[in-house]
């Protein structure tokens, strides 16, 4: 049976994962400062992105997502493993994205992935110290969009 501390930790971590998705979807990249540790490692390569430390990735996100007029990240099936002030998570993400094709046309591609995270408890609450994407699938991605093969 979970005690109140574990329940609280789990709820805080789940909210952090949702806050990440909402910050990305709102293009509020400064909100990510409350999600990642300043030295967090992030690896988006499996879905066609880059990897690096948080400050570099934060700058990259704004330009990388600019060409997509609409998208969202629906997260669920959150697996949380707690070990004191450290936690790991594995979270499913469904990510449809509109892609402009030119001549007023666009299409929607569908990306399925998992976020594999390492989190630490800080004086400000739980923060992500590492985020690595694992690809599940991509569907309807045009040739102009780089999505890595499994």
In a domain, 145, yes or no: no
Q: What is the pTM of this model?
A: 0.94
- Residue 30 structural domain: 4-139
pLDDT value of position 133: 98
Query: Does residue 142 have a pLDDT over 90?
Result: no
Q: What integer is the mean pLDDT of 67-95?
A: 98
C-alpha span between 22 and 16 (Å, rounded): 10
Query: Does residue 150 have a pLDDT over 60?
Result: no
Q: What is the pLDDT of residues 33-61, one digit of tens each?
A: 999 999 999 999 999 999 999 999 999 99
Element (H, E) at 39: strand 36-43
In a domain, 146, yes or no: no
CA-based R_g, the chain, Å: 16
Q: What is the pLDDT of residues 5-15, one digit of tens each?
A: 999 999 999 99
C-alpha span between 73 and 76 (Å, rounded): 10
User: Mind giving me the DSSP string for 112-137?
Assistant: EEEEEEEEEEETTEEEEEEEEEEEEE
| Residue 20 CB partners (closer than 8 Å, separation 6+) | 32, 35, 73, 75, 128
In a domain, 48, yes or no: yes
pLDDT band at 71 (very low <50, low <70, confident <90, very high): very high
Q: What integer is the mean pLDDT of 76-104?
A: 97
User: Mind giving me the DSSP string for 65-109?
Assistant: HTT-S-B--EEEEEEEEEETTEEEEEEEEEEEEEEEEETTEEEEE
pLDDT value of position 149: 56
pLDDT band at 132 (very low <50, low <70, confident <90, very high): very high
Domain CATH number, residue 16: 3.10.450.50
How many structural domains is the chain composed of?
1
In a domain, 148, yes or no: no
pLDDT value of position 54: 98
């Amino acid at each position: 049976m979970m005690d109140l501390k574990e329940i609280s930790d789990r709820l805080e971590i789940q909210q952090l994962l949702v806050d990440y998705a909402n910050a990305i979807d709102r293009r509020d990249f400064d909100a990510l400062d409350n999600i990642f540790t300043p030295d967090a490692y992030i690896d988006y390569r499996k879905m066609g992105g880059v990897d690096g430390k948080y400050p570099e990735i934060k700058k990259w996100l704004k330009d990388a997502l600019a060409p997509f007029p609409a998208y969202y990240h629906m997260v669920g099936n959150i697996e949380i493993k707690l070990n004191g002030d450290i936690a790991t998570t594995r979270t499913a993400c469904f990510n449809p994205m509109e892609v402009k094709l030119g001549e007023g046309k666009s299409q929607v591609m569908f990306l399925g992935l998992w976020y594999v995270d390492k989190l630490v408890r800080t004086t400000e609450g739980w923060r992500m110290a590492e985020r690595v994407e694992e690809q599940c699938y991509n569907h309807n991605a045009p040739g102009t969009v780089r999505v890595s093969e499994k």
